[in-house]
Amino acid sequence: MWGVIYRDFKTSNVLLNDEFCPKLSDFGLAREGPQGDNTHVTTARVGTQGYAAPEYVQTGHLRLKSDVYSFGVVLYEIITGRRTIERNKPVAERKLLDWVKEYPADSQRFSMIVDPRLRNNYPIAAARSLAKLADLCLKKNDKDRPAMEIVVERLKKIIEESAGGESSMAGSKESTSQVRSKSRVAGPVKGSLRGGVSVRG
């Protein structure tokens, strides 16, 4: 056996404890991964709309990197503060993945999709890096997606650089070190991307 495929990875199945350490719940749809020379497991198509990888939706073939695609969706939910389907939004914005494609991570327009509740109080370089990582996870061909171990390592690096680097805050010319200096006096900064992602390993 090559591993376990969760099959229904989504935000509502990720629980956070008091230290923002994530715990997975609801393993009812999980399946054992392919064995031997097999590249996939064929199953009935179940799960939640908006999270499933294209190869699974189209063929029912589950691959180890099918969960990586779902993780990419969740990353964009964290970045934007939106759900995968927003029926109360204009037609062009209802499907999360279709909407974010119009705002590439390297574009000046990118900050327009970041959760407005953060009020520009986040390191813009970290947000861009997170979006680029999400884009890799969302590659249509599962062979082009990184393994989950690589995703975790890149997440750790983004968090470390965000916490200890000199990247500018969105909407500000101040560096993160300057903001940290002020926060020691004014108290901790709430609602930042740094506080919303926790990776333990």
Beta bridge partners of 95: 85
For the chain, list the domains and their CATH numbers.
4-196 (1.10.510.10)
User: What is the model's pLDDT at position 61?
Assistant: 76
User: What is the model's pLDDT at position 136?
Assistant: 98
User: What is the model's pLDDT at position 37?
Assistant: 63
User: What is the model's pLDDT at position 195?
Assistant: 41
Q: Is 8 a known active-site residue?
A: yes
Q: Do 138 and 180 form a contact (C-beta atoms < 8 A)? A: no
User: What is the model's pLDDT at position 7?
Assistant: 75
Structure-token pair, residue 112: 């327009």
Coil/strand/helix, residue 144: helix
Q: Check residue 141 and report its DSSP letter.
A: S
Which stretches of the chain drop beneath a pLDDT of 50? 1, 173-192, 194-201
- pLDDT tens per residue across span 43-83: 666 667 789 889 888 887 788 888 999 999 999 999 999 99
Q: Which residues lie closer than 8 Å to 111 by C-beta, 6 or more apart? A: 120, 124, 127, 170, 171
User: What is the model's pLDDT at position 38?
Assistant: 61
Which residues in 104-138 are b (16+ Cβ under 10 Å) and which e? ebeeeebbebbbeebeebbbbbbbbbbbebbbbbb
User: What is the model's pLDDT at position 45?
Assistant: 63
Residue 138: CA atoms inside 13 Å, Cβ hemisphere, count? 19
Q: H or E element: which one contains 95?
A: none
Beta bridge partners of 32: 4
Q: How far apart are the first and last CA of the chain?
A: 22
User: What is the model's pLDDT at position 140?
Assistant: 95
Q: What is the pTM of this model?
A: 0.76
CA distance linking residue 169 with residue 144, whole number of Å: 31
User: What is the model's pLDDT at position 47?
Assistant: 65
User: What is the model's pLDDT at position 39?
Assistant: 58
User: What is the model's pLDDT at position 60?
Assistant: 79
Beta bridge partners of 62: 41
User: What is the model's pLDDT at position 56?
Assistant: 84
Which residues in 60-69 are b (16+ Cβ under 10 Å) and which e? ebbbbbbbbb
CA distance linking residue 29 with residue 129, whole number of Å: 31
